[in-house]
Amino acid sequence: MTDKPKVLVARKTFDDVVERLRAHFEVESNEADEVWSQDQLIERLQGMSGVYITGSEKIDARLLDACPGLRAVCTMAVGYNNIDVPACSARGVLVSNAPDVLTETTADFGFALMMATARRITESEHFLRRGEWRKWSYDMFAGSDVHGATLAILGMGRIGQAIARRGHLGFGMPVIYHNRSQLAPEIAAPLGAQWVEKDELLRRADHLLIVVPYSPAAHHMVGERELALMKPSATLTNIARGGVVDDAALARALAAGTIAAAGLDVFEGEPQVHAGLLAARNVVLTPHIASASIPTRRAMSHLAVDNLIAALSGGTPPTALNPEVLNRSPA
Ligand code: DGY
């Protein structure tokens, strides 16, 4: 018998992450890395005080009501649109995410995806692998330049700023951005970043980078109307969340030449991908891996563990989203 609190690790993670949890808790871990339905997750959460999740598990009011013992929900992702935070707060459940530790890695990837898109890297590789390369020609896979082109960033949080820094300092790109709030001048100036209205951002973009967090207000923030504002030579790169871009409208825009190309790491309804995007030649597709370097995935996972341990042992979770629930006396 043990009186340690019980926690569930909802997806496979690094062994030492689970070992750290075992020092504090009775742990059940999804070692087979099965993708559970909502009902299976609820079943496995019975009797659990805490849960370690990823960006894939949905934590909503129905689940919380079915798991009244749950006290902490800690995700190893920075995005938390899969968690109903107000519903957790209303039930005294602590929620944490994993910001900061993935910022530079994710910015590296956003920049790489934009460059691959602008310079048609995967499209030309597929051509070569198909054995179609017979001769050199002056315009073979000629794309657009990145250096000196206008970098337009939609969403200017930590990751947006890290991308702006790369573009401005490394590639001499004029940087424009749109965000609900404007950066303080002392933050914007070293990034060379200028705030503009969303429509102006779209009109002026040579390379549009989308890094805005998903919320109902951000749903289809870039759809048919917005794509029509862009230059036919422009590229669009989305490393934010599926749903921020209207994928069906994007597929149509790519087919019609409304914009030149797209780089996509996130999709509406992923892991399903819109058939029109799969069929398009001028799109670089990756399976939601922007933060996937080993050191960063380790750091994200350990940050979730730090939060879980603190939340269930009277400490201060370092990156809680609703720390106010800890100060509330139990009902
Ligand atoms: C994040 O951390 O939000 C990444 O998109 C992985 O889910």
> Domain limits of the chain?
6-99+294-327, 103-285
Q: What is the pLDDT of residues 310-330, one digit of tens each?
A: 999 999 999 999 999 998 755
Residue 327: per-residue pLDDT: 83
Q: What tokens does 231 get?
A: 């230059």
Q: What is the pLDDT of residues 34-48, one digit of tens each?
A: 999 999 999 999 999
Residue 20: per-residue pLDDT: 97
User: Does 163 score more than 70 pLDDT?
Assistant: yes
Which CATH superfamily does the domain covering 6-99+294-327 fall into?
Answer: NAD(P)-binding Rossmann-like Domain (3.40.50.720)
Mean pLDDT on 300-304: 98
Residue 76 CA, closest ligand 1 atom number: 2
Q: What is the DSSP letter of 50?
A: E
List all residues 6 or more positions away from 264 whose beta carbon is below 8 Å from its beta carbon.
113, 237, 238, 245, 277, 283, 284, 285, 286
State phi, psi for 28 to the nearest 5 degrees. -110, 130
Q: What is the pLDDT of residues 164-220, one digit of tens each?
A: 999 999 999 999 999 999 999 999 999 999 999 999 999 999 999 999 999 999 999
Residue 330: per-residue pLDDT: 53
Residue 2: per-residue pLDDT: 60
Q: What is the pLDDT of residues 237-282, one digit of tens each?
A: 999 999 999 999 999 999 999 999 999 999 999 999 999 999 999 9
The answer to whether 73 and 50 have CB atoms below 8 angstroms apart is yes
Mean predicted lDDT score pLDDT of the chain = 97
**Residue 270 is a catalytic residue:** yes
| Ligand 1 lined by 79 (C-beta under 6 Å) | yes
Q: Among 291, 293, 302, which residue has the most ligand 1 atoms within 8 Å of its CB, making it the best to mutate?
A: 291
**Residue 130 is a catalytic residue:** no
Q: What tokens does 245 get?
A: 């871009």
Which CATH superfamily does the domain covering 103-285 fall into?
Answer: NAD(P)-binding Rossmann-like Domain (3.40.50.720)
CATH topology agreement for domains 6-99+294-327 and 103-285: yes
Q: What tokens does 17 get?
A: 């992450």
